[in-house]
């Protein structure tokens, strides 16, 4: 088993449920690959039994560690993974991750490595599943932060821009923004008009209220390009996002003549105790993932569809990014800049 990509509340719940059911019902033995695909490349393997997973259900992060390692960027990456699995008598992998980690799993599955995927991301952007664990916790944390920022915004009568995670999908910004009573919500799927944003800010001040603007880190203005502080790339070719919140605050100050400040929630959204829903969903994913291993149904990903856990081909799940449904723009159009 391995956990890859950004850490996420609920990862330990998956690990726990896979091990408990696998050992107790199927008599499986488990090992964990440390730090995602990096551990698979380096042969860094640790034992995973009932004792190792005891008490980890409420813990955030992952006891196996994680990384954004892309084995296809390393010399003989696939063969090194095969060697690691063979040397430790690993018959199958349970791969827990988001679009990048599962994208690697999809290609490895095509090359004959037996594995099952479990979708994980706070961004909720993995297609094929109604929801990913970690998302509910992240939305709750962001909503609480927005609630707190309302009072300080009103105290100083200034605009507060809240930058939340969301590279390609604005699910966190939309859910937390609406739940937290934000006045403007900016998402990557819909380039925004900065003049319209400033007009909304001014209208709030006219009725003696301080505006809250929630922006996903991947939000982009209509006129221009993505705002970045750092253009270095990770092994999957992604830039390290951040900067849109600061840019918005500066633009709002210059265009409206009023004070504006930025709060970047960043990794706060990833950390801490998972919500009850995320523990429940992660546990169900783990139980069904080990069932798929037992059935020999490899190359599949477990997914939530309604209230049912189903299996879908990994290739289908990683074919595209799940974006905010366009119908929600009309439903919540009053909030979009």
d(CA 131, CA 143): 18
Q: Report which secondary-structure segment, H or E, holds 227.
A: none
Helices 194-206 and 244-256 meet at what angle, rounded to 10? 60
Q: Which residue ranges make up the annotated binding site for Mg(2+)?
A: 99
Beta strands in the chain (DSSP E): 2-3, 30-33, 45-48, 93-97, 115-119, 159-164, 184-186, 212-216, 260-264, 300-305, 308-313
pLDDT tens-digit map of 184-208? 999 999 999 999 999 999 999 989 8
Phi, psi of 74 (to 5 degrees): -115, 140
pLDDT tens-digit map of 286-326? 999 999 999 999 999 999 999 999 999 999 998 899 999 88
With pLDDT > 70 as the criterion, what percentage of the chain qualifies?
93
* Contact by Cβ (8 Å): 63, 15: yes
d(CA 202, CA 133): 38
pLDDT tens-digit map of 58-92? 999 999 999 999 999 999 999 999 999 999 999 99
**Is the model's pLDDT at 337 over the cut of 90?**
no
Cβ burial of 308 (10 Å; 0-12, 13-18, 19+) is: exposed
Q: Which residue ranges make up the annotated binding site?
A: 6, 99, 121-123, 158, 165-167, 217, 261, 267-270
Find the catalytic residue in 123, 125, 136, 291: 123
* 297 belongs to the catalytic site: no
Q: Which residue ranges make up the annotated binding site for diphosphate?
A: 6
Number of neighbouring beta carbons within 10 Å of residue 198: 23
d(CA 247, CA 167): 16
């Amino acid at each position: 088993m391995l956990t890859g990509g950004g850490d996420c509340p609920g990862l330990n719940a998956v690990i726990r449920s896979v091990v408990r059911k696998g050992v107790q019902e199927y008599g499986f033995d488990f090992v964990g690959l440390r730090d995602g695909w990096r551990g698979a490349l380096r042969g860094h393997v640790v034992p995973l039994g009932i004792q190792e997973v005891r008490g980890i259900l409420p813990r955030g992060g992952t006891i196996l560690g994680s990384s954004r390692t892309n084995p296809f960027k390393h010399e003989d990456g696939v063969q090194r993974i095969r060697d690691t699995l063979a040397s430790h008598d690993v018959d199958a992998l349970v791969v827990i991750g988001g679009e990048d980690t599962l994208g690697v799993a999809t290609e490895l599955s095509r090359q004959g490595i037996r594995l099952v995927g479990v979708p994980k991301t706070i961004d909720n952007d993995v297609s094929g599943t109604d929801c990913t664990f970690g998302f509910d916790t992240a939305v709750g944390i962001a909503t609480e932060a927005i609630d707190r920022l309302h009072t300080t915004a009103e105290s100083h009568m200034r605009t507060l821009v809240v930058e939340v995670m969301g590279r390609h999908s604005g699910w966190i910004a939309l859910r937390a923004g609406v739940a937290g009573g934000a006045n403007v919500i900016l998402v990557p799927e819909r380039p925004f008009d900065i003049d319209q944003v400033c007009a909304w800010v001014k209208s709030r001040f006219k009725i003696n209220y301080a505006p809250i603007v929630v922006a996903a880190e991947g939000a982009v203005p209509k006129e221009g390009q993505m705002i970045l502080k750092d253009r270095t790339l990770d092994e999957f070719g992604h830039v390290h996002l951040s900067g849109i919140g600061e840019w918005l605050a500066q633009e709002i100050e210059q265009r409206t003549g009023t004070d504006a400040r930025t709060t970047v929630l960043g990794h706060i959204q990833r950390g801490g105790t998972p919500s009850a829903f995320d523990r429940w969903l992660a546990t169900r994913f783990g139980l069904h993932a080990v069932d798929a291993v037992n059935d020999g149904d490899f190359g599949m990903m477990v997914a939530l569809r309604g209230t049912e856990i189903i299996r879908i081909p990994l290739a289908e799940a990683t074919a595209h990014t799940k974006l905010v449904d366009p119908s929600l723009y009309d439903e919540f159009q009053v909030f979009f800049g």
